[in-house]
Each structure stands twice: as structure tokens, then as C-alpha cells.
Structure 1
Amino acid sequence: MDTTITSISLGRAEEEAAPSARPQLVLVAISDEPQAPSSRHLLDDVDEVRFGRAERSVQRLTVEGRRILELRIPDRRMSSSHGRLVRGSSGWLLDDPESKNGAVVDGAVTRRLVIGDGAVIELGHTFFVFRNVAVERNAPGDIDDAALPGGVPALQTYDGALAEQFATLGRVAPTEVSVLLQGETVTGKELVARALHELSGRSGAFVAVNCGALPPNLIEAELFGHRRGAFTGAVGERLGLVRSADSGTLFLDEVGELPPASQAAFLRVLQEREVVPVGVDHPVKVDVRLCAATLRDLEALVAAGQFRRDLYARLFGLTIALPPLRQRRVDLGLLARRLLALIPGGPQVRFAPAALRAMLRHDWLLNIRELEKVLTTAVALATSGVIEAGHLPETLRRGPRSEPTSQQPAPGDGTPPGAAPVGAVARSSDDELREQLIGLLTLHHGNVLAVSKALHTRRTQVYRWLHRLGIQVETFRRRADS
């Protein structure tokens, strides 16, 4: 894609990149060709998106005054004209009346549906995520993996708000500004810290310190090093973690777990820029760039007296909030490709649509580590070269525990009050689904076609649900007759 990325000076970031919610469509992955790049397409100046099977291309054009975005994808399961996404007064309408295989939204077949933020759309074997979230003003209309900004892979994302944070991180990388990374466990904090070091231009090493694992009785020796014979067991000289990071970056992982003695020791280092190794009677100057990470609320710890206020002030510079993986579904294809590249046989595998669907709808409570473990196991099990849903853990196959409704029935479809859109039905528990089906069957006197229309799905799908739940349609027809 022909894409121009405009750099922004740190001083004018807010002026030139004020965030605003913008509709966008992200092609996350093609299950038959997972190594194909993802892409993001902004829809601010688009009235209609047209999908179809052909050599991959993106074209923006105007037809009879309507602004059209044409997305062509080499997906053999797509039709040459496979529906469209149309801007309307009530939102974006997915309209697919004629394609052979139809469309799937949040796991359920549909022909016509108003979609909302976070909707997962399947056309053929191609998976999209629709978002309506903030993106910086200078973001290009169309972008793919090759054109993503960030400078290093760990700082590349299709999430607009995160991309804005990463851009700021890149601008402060060559400075002495301290960086604090916040987020759930295994959201990639150390990878981002290493990227910060790589972009800093510092000649020294990147040294990671597990703050929760520092032995209380050897804190100073671990941090500052020691000379030979300084204490029992000190059989040789040791630089220590801080001096090992001289002229480089010191990464304090889980800094919120630092015990009080360690907090005081680190504060001295940051204030004086020097250390005194155990057994040495003079200080040694050090030059370290500080980056810290935590999943805890440091301000709350300070207020509770569990974290030193003066140390927090030293750590406080630029704060980057890393979202959990469940909030980065647009990046699932990008992250999966990078992880598969590290797994023997990974780059050669393909995904069954059901497997990719389950992954896109999973909560990923263990974040990137869980994704890595799932992919590693699935590749080992996929002896045919295709990752099937059965190769995934049961927690993925069950679907998400909870998920906000990301679509609603199209206007004028006659959906009765209280009828959920098909995506919500697909996510319901069996008890909820049973209750909804019984309500609709009662309302429509056992007319399965009317129920399928109300739920925006095929009649055969309704019959499958009825069979699985043991609901007898004739019961409702007899009630109507009586």
C-alpha cells in the first residue's frame, strides 16, 4: 500500500494528534493464509465498503456521488461480490443478501445486521474486526503490516490509542525520561522495555530486575555487586545488576513488589547516580536509563504507605498503559504471525475457520503467554498442517465468558421487543438461549421461519438449537391452534 507516515514532534503531539473516535475495519487474518498481512482501513470518508474475491487490493473511488472502499481478497470461499458495509443513520449495516456462503458476525450467520464496535465479521475464510475508537489525526487511511510505524516489532499495533502511546514512547526513547509501564501480567511489558532500550541508542546492556525475587538478605550485593570475600560465599567479584546496566537500561519488573529495604536502596541509586559495592569503601558512578513495570496501582500503594513517595516521584515520567490481549483483537493476526515464526513448523500451518473464530472471541486472561502456549500446542497437534478447533483448549472452544453486544438488528426487520441479535444468541448460555427461543416460538406460534428472521439467522440453525435443547416445535403450534 502507498502509505505516508507523518512524524510528530513531542511538543506538538496533542495539537497535531488529538484523538477522536473514527470508524475503522481491520482485516485481522485469512484462516487459509495466516501469514498474509493484516490491514486497517479508516472509514471516516467512506459511505460504503464493498467486498469480493480477487487479487488482494484496496481501492477508494466515487460512484454517483457515493464514496466507495473496495476490498478485494484472494479468499476462495468468498464470492466475487460478497456483500457490503453501508453507513446509515443508525450505524454501519452489514448487508449480504446474495453471496453463496453468507456472512458470520460474532459467530452466527447473518444476512443483514447493524454492527457495532468490536464486532468480529467473517466473509468466507477472512476475518475482520470493526472498531469505532480513537485514532490520531495523521493516521493513514489504509495501512498494512509493512507500513506500521513503531520502528521495532514490539511497538507495532493496529490499535490506534496504543499506537499513539508507542509513538510518544519512541520520541522520549533517546532522552533521560523515566518510563513506567502499567498493565496486566504478560501484556508484553518487557518486550516494550527492550524496544525502548533499542531505540534509545544507549551503548550499554539491557538488564531486567525481577523486583519481587530479590533476596532480602542480599539486596545490596545483588544490586550493587561485591568484591571477593566481602561476605560468606562471595568467592569472586561481582558487578551487580545496576553496574551491569551502566550506559544501558535498567528494567525494574514488578516494581510494586519491592520490599521497603529495596526501595531505599534503589532511591539512593537514582538520587546519587552511584553505587557502593559490598566490601568497597568508595562509591562508583553509574549511568543508567530507568524503565519500570507494574500491574499494581503505585499511587494507591503510596497512599497506603506501602511504596515510598520519593521513589515514586523518581519513577514517574512517561506512563504507558498496555491493554490486555482481549482488548487488542485487531492485533491477533499480527501477534500470531510473530509467535508462529518462532515455533518449529509454525509458519507453514493454516487455521480452520472455527479455530480462528474461537481465538478471536476468547478472553485471553493470561494474555500473550497464553496465546504463545496455545499456538505451540496447536502446531504440535496439527499433523495435517491445519489447526482445527479440536486442537485448542476447551476454554477457547467454549467461547467467551462475557462479551458486550457489538451489533443490533437492522431497522425495519420486524424484530420483536426483547429479541437479541444473532451474535448475542450465539454467546448465550443454554439456559438463556432456551428462554429466548421459547419466548419467540410462543410469540410466533411455532413458526420457525419467523423465529429465524427475528434472530437474523438461518432456519436450519434454529432447528439445530431446538434439537440440541430438546425443544418440541409442535407444542407451540398446538397451543396456537387451541
Structure 2
Amino acid sequence: MTRKLISLGTTQDPVREQRRAQPLARPFLFVVLHCGQPALGGARYGLAELDVVDIGRGASRVASRICEGGVRRLDLRLPDATISKTQGRLVRSGDTWVFEDAGSRNGSYVNDRRVTKIALSDGDFIELGNVILRYRAGLPSSPTSAADLELDTPEARGLQTLVPPLADELDALARIARAPIPVLLLGESGTGKEVLASNIHTRSGRAGPLVAVNCGALTASLLESQLFGHVKGAFTGAIRDEPGYVRRADGGTLFLDEVGDLPLPAQAALLRVLEENEVVPVGGSNPIKVDLRVVAATHKPLDKMAIRGELRVDLLARLSGHRHTLTRLRDRIEDMGILVRDLLGRSKVPGASELGFTLQAGKWLLSQPWSLNIRELSQVLGVAAALADGPLIERAHLIERSLGTVAPPEEESVVAPEPEDERDTAPDALRGRIVALLEKHRGNVSGVARDMGKSRVQIHRWIQRFSISVDTYRG
């Protein structure tokens, strides 16, 4: 009997497979905000496989891809009475896109200027009636990302986004949530770290509770007792046994908010808990086993703190199973529609979920720097909903908060303020630094982001801006 040997090796080219998985810069059209009907959320439409986008009024927001006579067309219907049945169109012209008004009744505007025909630039806002759209010339997008995405209903709070590179990061986090891996959430204050921690716990499937601890609010003299519990009589005032935060989280998730504020003595005790999976209450002698998953969050630069000796390196390593940096609101302005919908829907102000915006109010929302991120947006919307005396929130109801113009100090922020364009930094120096770090990390963008203290989204933007080929540094 003759036996035929079959090779178990693969015939696939690993370099080709790696390139397939790399993000590609693709053009997109975003429906950012339905001012009159913010409950509709937002949407994105990929332009890479299109030649024309026809836009007009419809009974509901509907997008249909059609190929006629070799012309690839997207027919986009928007539910707004101030939009004409045939409002305008986007037409591909080489590597750029041109917007053309179709003789609409109320006209079309690009960046506040009425236009009949104009070549679009990256980031341009297109105003059609009371609907605001945005054109992005090239956003990093993985090959597996859907070209079109409609987010018209609230689902996984904190994990919804229309921005492709951010969506890829959140998809990875959603997968990590199901594994017993520690997660470290980084980013500026107000970006939604606690909301994300809650979502991670929900997706983990763990039967126990989510126990949140504000490390900055722990009382110094009772810190270990608060974290690890105590037995009756352990100290004056200990009139009964108390389990502490760690044991309350047994079987669930321990959320350590502002972990960068944890004093060094508590860091050592917490490290033992994480390494041994057991806790000894104050005044006790026998260790008690605990089963918990840890999610930590901070706006502080933990790596720099570890170098300065303010944070134990071994504790940082334990907490850093998976790092996720939350994107600042001003860097995900395309998500304004879905954020406004969710925040108004959750507002405690009666009737807030039914309110809309005037066009001027909607444009104001998209023009602000939002230095305090989603927390600031939530406060502004809450006040506006309370002030509104009709079905629409007007520009006068949107009150600027004084703190909103003050950016957090760089020392206290994981992500330092990032330049908006070439005028804010020396392009040659910035490009040289990125190239050097790509060489150091062999093309690993996450490594470059960590070294520069920036988000991966920002690194991808710079790579695209400076026409850097990441593949050159890989392998």
C-alpha cells in the first residue's frame, strides 16, 4: 500500500497576508447630525467603490448602492422637509470628490458658504437643509470594516462609533472583554472611561457585580480597610466585619478609577491581591481567596509615573493586560449625532429625548473644541434641554462653560494636545521622529503611539499626511 504524504505547510504568502490586514486610507461621507431629528443618530458611507452619490429628500434615511451602465452610484435619501427631492450630488474627479448643487430650493452650503459646485477638501462640512454631513478624504480603515454603517439606535453604550480606526480599536476591546485579561483604560478626563468599564463588565459574562472604586477618594488612614476589608475589633470603630471593595467584587469586576492616585503602600497590597488572588482583611490572619477581573482607568501618564517611582512598575505590568486609549471628542466629531442622541435619551430633564436643534445650534455643537470631552457635552445638553421652551434647542440655549476653554495640563494627561495641521509643528522634525519610532518598533503603530503619548488614530493621520509606508518598516 502506497501512502501519499500531504504537506501541512501553507502556500499563502505571509507578507501578502500581513498587508491585507493593514488599515487602508479610504474616503467616507458621514451623516453627522440630523438637527431637527437627532434621534436618527448618524451614518457613514464608503466612497472608495463609488463614482457618484445622489442626495435628496426621502421619507426616511435610506442608502442604496446601484450600478448602472458601469457607473457605481449611491442614492442617499434624507428625511428633512427643507431638503429638495433632488438636492445635490458628489462626483468623483480623479482622486478628489466634487459637490454639485442640483438647483435645490434652499441651496447647499459647504463650510457655511452657499455653493453650486466645489471640490471638497478633507473635513469639509456639507449643509443640506437641516442635515449636516462631513467629507473625509482618507481615514484608516481595516479591509474587513463595513463601508456603510448606520447607527440609528442606541445599543452597546460606549462601544458605538462611526469613525473607522476607532471602530477597529473598539472591536478589539469587545473581544478582549470576553477574556479574563486586565484592561487599562487611558485618556483625557470626560472621555467615558467609566461607561466603557461598565460595558466591558457586561460583555465579560461574569456573574458577580461591577464594583467601582475611586482611588483618589480613598481615605489615607482607612485605605487598606476600604479596599481589603477588616474584621471586627481590628481598630477603634470596627464594630463588625466588613468585606471591602475587593471582596465585594468577588466573581465580578473591580473597576479602579483614577488608579494613578493610589498611594504606594496600597499599590504593594493591591499587587499581592492580583498575584495571589487572595486578600487578608485588616486585623485578620487568614487569606481569603477572590476571583475578580480588574479594569483600571486614569488620565495620568502611568509610564512616566513608573519611571519617576510614583507607581510600582510591577503593578503597572499587572494592570496592563490590554491598553485602550479613549479618543478625545474633538477627534471623533463625526460621532456627534450618535452621542447627542444617547445623551438626550438618558437625560433626566423631562422631554429631552424629544428635542431637536436649530441649524445654528447644530453647527455650534460641531465647532467647539470640547476640552472636557463627553462630560462637558452632557452638561451643555442638559442645561440646553432645561432652557428650551419649544421643540428645538436654539443657539442661545447652548451655554459655553468657562472650563470648556481650558485644556488639561500636559503633565496630568495621557494624551498631550495634538497639532491640528502642519502650521502647529515642524513637519520635518515630526516626520523624522515618526520614521525613527517606526524603525524602532518595526512598523508597530501601537508602539509608536505609546512612545509619543498619542492615540493610534493620530499616528495613522500623521502617517497618511507624510505619505509614510508602514510596510517598509515591517518584517
TM-score, length-normalised on structure 1? 0.76
Shift of 1:15: 7.5
What SS does the corresponding residue of 1:154 show, helix, strand or coil?
A: coil
Match of 1:239 among 243, 249, 254: 243
| Correspondence 1:92-171 to 2 at 5 A | 92-96=97-101, 98-131=103-136, 132-145=138-151, 152-171=156-175
Over residues 241-289 of structure 1, what are the superposed CA-to-partner deviations in whole Å (9 max), with x where a residue is unaligned? 1001011111111112222112112111111111110111111111110
Q: What residue ranges of structure 2 are gaps of 5+ in the alignment?
A: 1-16, 408-417, 423-475
Q: Tell me the distance in 2 between the aligned counterparts of 1:16 and 1:230.
A: 61
Q: Tell me the distance in 1 between the aligned counterparts of 2:294 and 2:406.
A: 38
Q: Report the counterpart of residue 257 of structure 2 in structure 1.
A: 253
Q: Report the counterpart of residue 451 of structure 1 in structure 2.
A: none
1:380 aligns with 2:386: yes
| Correspondence 1:257-406 to 2 at 5 A | 257-343=261-347, 344-394=350-400
Q: Tell me the distance in 2 between the aligned counterparts of 1:18 and 1:177.
A: 25
Q: Residues 32 and 132 of structure 2 are in contact (CA less than 8 Å); yes or no, is this contact kept in structure 1?
A: yes
Matched AA of 2:217: A
Q: Residues 189 and 322 of structure 1 are in contact (CA less than 8 Å); yes or no, is this contact kept in structure 2?
A: yes
Shift of 1:395: 6.3
Aligned-pair identity in percent equals 42
Match of 2:92 among 78, 83, 87: 87
Q: Tell me the distance in 1 between the aligned counterparts of 2:405 and 2:141.
A: 29
Q: Tell me the distance in 2 between the aligned counterparts of 1:27 and 1:405.
A: 24
Match of 1:186 among 167, 190, 201: 190
Q: Tell me the distance in 2 between the aligned counterparts of 1:268 and 1:362.
A: 45
Q: What residue ranges of structure 1 are gaps of 5+ in the alignment?
A: 1-12, 407-482
Over residues 369-428 of structure 1, what are the superposed CA-to-partner deviations in whole Å (9 max), with x where a residue is unaligned? 1111111111111111210101111469x999999589xxxxxxxxxxxxxxxxxxxxxx
Q: Tell me the distance in 2 between the aligned counterparts of 1:206 and 1:319.
A: 19
Q: Residues 349 and 385 of structure 1 are in contact (CA less than 8 Å); yes or no, is this contact kept in structure 2?
A: yes
Q: Residues 53 and 76 of structure 2 are in contact (CA less than 8 Å); yes or no, is this contact kept in structure 1?
A: yes
Q: Residues 380 and 400 of structure 2 are in contact (CA less than 8 Å); yes or no, is this contact kept in structure 1?
A: no
Q: Which entry has the higher C-alpha Rg, 1 or 2?
A: 1
Over residues 146-166 of structure 1, what are the superposed CA-to-partner deviations in whole Å (9 max), with x where a residue is unaligned? 589xx7222111121121112
Q: 1:293 to 1:400 in 2, by over 3 A?
A: closer
Q: 1:261 to 1:304 in 2, by over 3 A?
A: same
Q: Report the counterpart of residue 77 of structure 2 in structure 1.
A: 72
Shift of 1:207: 0.9
Shift of 1:90: 5.4
What SS does the corresponding residue of 1:378 show, helix, strand or coil?
A: helix
Q: Tell me the distance in 1 between the aligned counterparts of 2:322 and 2:227.
A: 24
Over residues 212-259 of structure 1, what are the superposed CA-to-partner deviations in whole Å (9 max), with x where a residue is unaligned? 222221121011001122111222221101001011111111112222
- Give RMSD over aligned pairs: 2.6
Shift of 1:103: 2.1
Tell which deviates more after alignment, 202-211 or 168-177: 168-177
Matched AA of 1:373: Q
Over residues 78-127 of structure 1, what are the superposed CA-to-partner deviations in whole Å (9 max), with x where a residue is unaligned? 12221211222352222226223222223333333332332222111111
Q: Report the counterpart of residue 197 of structure 1 in structure 2.
A: 201
Deviant stretches of 4+, over 4 Å? 13-17, 398-406
Q: Report the counterpart of residue 439 of structure 1 in structure 2.
A: none
Q: 1:220 to 1:394 in 2, by over 3 A?
A: closer
Aligned residues: 391
Tell which deviates more after alignment, 194-203 or 31-40: 31-40
Matched AA of 2:399: P
Q: Tell me the distance in 1 between the aligned counterparts of 2:386 and 2:276.
A: 52
What SS does the corresponding residue of 1:68 show, helix, strand or coil?
A: strand
What SS does the corresponding residue of 2:38 show, helix, strand or coil?
A: coil
Over residues 58-91 of structure 1, what are the superposed CA-to-partner deviations in whole Å (9 max), with x where a residue is unaligned? 1111233221111111211112221211222352
Q: Tell me the distance in 2 between the aligned counterparts of 1:391 and 1:126.
A: 20
Q: Report the counterpart of residue 472 of structure 1 in structure 2.
A: none
Q: Residues 371 and 406 of structure 2 are in contact (CA less than 8 Å); yes or no, is this contact kept in structure 1?
A: no
Over residues 405-455 of structure 1, what are the superposed CA-to-partner deviations in whole Å (9 max), with x where a residue is unaligned? 89xxxxxxxxxxxxxxxxxxxxxxxxxxxxxxxxxxxxxxxxxxxxxxxxx
